[in-house]
Structure 1
Amino acid sequence: MFFRNAINAEKNKDTFLSLIFVLTSLALIVFCANLVDAASEKPGYKYQEIKAIVKELKRRTKSEDLEKLVEKSTEFITSHPKYKRVDEVYYLLGDALVQLDRVEEGVKVFEELIKDYPSARYVERCLLELGLAYDKLGKHDAADAAYEKLVNHPKYGSRSQAKFAKQLLEQDKTTRKGELPKPSRARMNPRDWLGHPAPDFEVTDLEGEALSLERYRGEVVLLDFWATWCGPCIAEMPNVKKTYETYKDQKFQIIGISLDRSMEPLKAYIEKEGLGWVHYWDTTNKVSSVYRVQAIPSTFLIDGEGVIRKANLRGAALKKAVAELVKENLAKSTHTDSQ
C-alpha cells in the first residue's frame, strides 16, 4: 500500500509539473504576442509598411496597391502627426491620390502639408506637385500661385524642383496638362537634357529583375549607353569600373544600356571584366530611343532627384563629376536624417 501511494504521489507531481510547464508556455506565447502587437503599433513599423508598398509600386504600378497606400498613409497621418517623416507620408498620399485620378483629394493633402508643416523637407516636392495637380484640373491661376511660391521660397527656391516650376511659369498656361516640361527630342544633343527630368523606363535587366530609374531615386545614377563592339566604349571601361568601385557604397549606381547585336558577347564581356552594376540589353532600342542616342558611348549623370546634371563625360571629367554629385547627394541625405 505504501509503495502504491508513493507511485501515485510521483504521478501527481509529474502531472503538476506538466501543468506548470503548459501554463508557463501559454504565458510566454501571450507575452510575445503582446510584444509583437505593441511593436506593430509603433510609428516606425507603420512607416516601413508604407515604404514597402511604395517599393512594390516602383516595380509595377497597380491600382489596388495605390489604394492600399492611400489607406495606410491616411491612417498614419491621423495616428502619428508628429512623426519625423510624416511630411514624406503626406507627399506619398497626395501623389497616390493624383495617380488614382482623385486629383482634388490630392490637392487637399498637398495644401494641408504646406500649411501645417511649412519648413518640412517635402514641402518642396508638394508645392511642385500641387501646381501640377491644379494644371491637371485646369485651374492654371492656382497652379501659378503654387509655382511662384516654390520659386520664391527662401529654402527651396534655388533647387531643381523650383527650376521646373520656373519653366512651367514660362509656358502658355492654357497648354499645361499637369506634366513636367520635357525638352524637344528632335535632333537633340545629349547636353540638351541638362536640367531636365530623366525620362523613366520600365524594363527587365539581364538577371531577370525589374529595372527602372525610379527604383534608384535618392541615388546618383550614371546611365551608360555602350556596346562590346564599340572601341571607345571598351577604352573607357576601365575608368567606368574604377569610378563604380570608388563610389558604389555611397548611393551611386550605374545602369548599363547595351546596344550589342546579340546577347552572347555582352554576357561574356560582363563576366570576364567583372562589371558589377546593373545591365540591360536594349535590343529593341526601347531606352536609347527615349534618350535620342545617336552615337555611343553616351552617358547621362542623374542626381538623387532624378534630374540630368551632366552628359557625355569621359576620363577624369567623369570621376570628378561623380565625386561632386555623390558628395552633394550624401549631404542632402544627412540633412534629411537630422531633421
Structure 2
Amino acid sequence: MHSRNESIAMNRWYCFVIALIGLVVLNSCVSSTSFNVTSSTSIRDDNAYAEIKAIAEQLGNSGDPAAYETLVEKSGVFIKEYPKYRQVDEVYYLLGISLIELNRTEEGIDVFEELIRYYPAADYVEPSLLRLGLAYDKVGEHDKADPLYEKLVNHTKYRGGRSSQIAEQLLTQDRDARTGELANASGSDPSPRPNQFINQPALDFQVTGLRGEPLSLSQYRGQVVLLDFWATWCPPCIAEMPNVKHTYAKYKNQKFEIIGISLDRSTGPLEEYIAREGLAWRQYWDNGSRIASMYNVRAIPSTFLIDGAGIVRQVNLRGSALEMAVAELVRENLEN
C-alpha cells in the first residue's frame, strides 16, 4: 500500500508525461500545418510560372497580340506576388519583350531597367541588357543604347556570348540605321563575309582623315596596306595594339602602311588614345560606319591586308600571324 506522499509523486509524474505528450503532438500539428502552407504556396507559384511559360512558347509560333496582352497581365501579377521566385528574372524578361512587341516600349524599358537594378546577378540580365539597348534604339535614344552594348562587349562575364556578339555588330553600324529590330542586328543579310574579299580588289574610298588630310586607298597603290578597323572601347583591339605598333615600326620604311578605321562614337577618346600611345599611322573616324559597311565589318578588331596591286590577300590577322603575313607580302612587293 502506497503512502500519501508516494501517491502525490506518482500523480505529478503522470501529469508531466501527459503534458510532454501534448507538447509533442502540438508541435507536430504546427510543423505539419507549416509544411502544408509552404507546399501550397510553392505549388501556386510553380503553376503560375508554368502557365506564363506555356503562353510564351505559343507566342513563338503565333505572335498573337491578344496573347501578348495576356502574358503582360499574368507576368505583372506574378512579379508582384512572387518577387523572390527563383526564376522571376525570366518572367521580367518575358514581360519586357511583350510590352515592346505591343509598342509599349517605354514600359518595356522600365521593366528591363528594374530587372537589371534589383537582380544584377540573375541569368536574364545578359539578354536584358541587349533588349534594353534595342529598345532605346527603337525610340532613337542611341546615346543610352551604346553603353549597354559596350558593357556586353567589355564585361568579362558577358564577353564572347551571343548577346555580346550582336552588341559588337550593333556598335559597328550607323546609329541612325539602328531601329531596334533584333533580326537586323543579328546579321542575317546576305552581304559578303570578310573572307569573301580575299583575292578580290579592295574597295576604294575617298575621305578626310582625322587630321584633316585627304585619305584614300588608291593613294597607296604600290604599297602593302593594312586596313585596321578598331575602337578604343574594344578590349581585344587594345590588346592587339602593341603587336600592330611593333609590325608598323618594323616595316614602315619598306613600303608598308596602316590605315586605322576607328568606330569610336566620338573623336575625343580616339584622339586621346592616339596621343597617349603614339600611333603614327593615318586614322579615319568612321562616323556612320560607311567604310565598315563597305567591307561588311561585323566585329572588331577586323583587318584587311592589301598588296601593292590593291588586292586583298588576307583578313583578320592577329598576333604573330600578322607580322609573318606582312613580312611575306612586303618581301614580295619589293621584289616586284
Indicate the TM-score class for this superposition, using the shorter chain for normalisation: 0.3 to 0.5
Larger Rg: 2
**TM-score normalised by structure 2 residue count:** 0.43
**TM-score normalised by structure 1 residue count:** 0.43
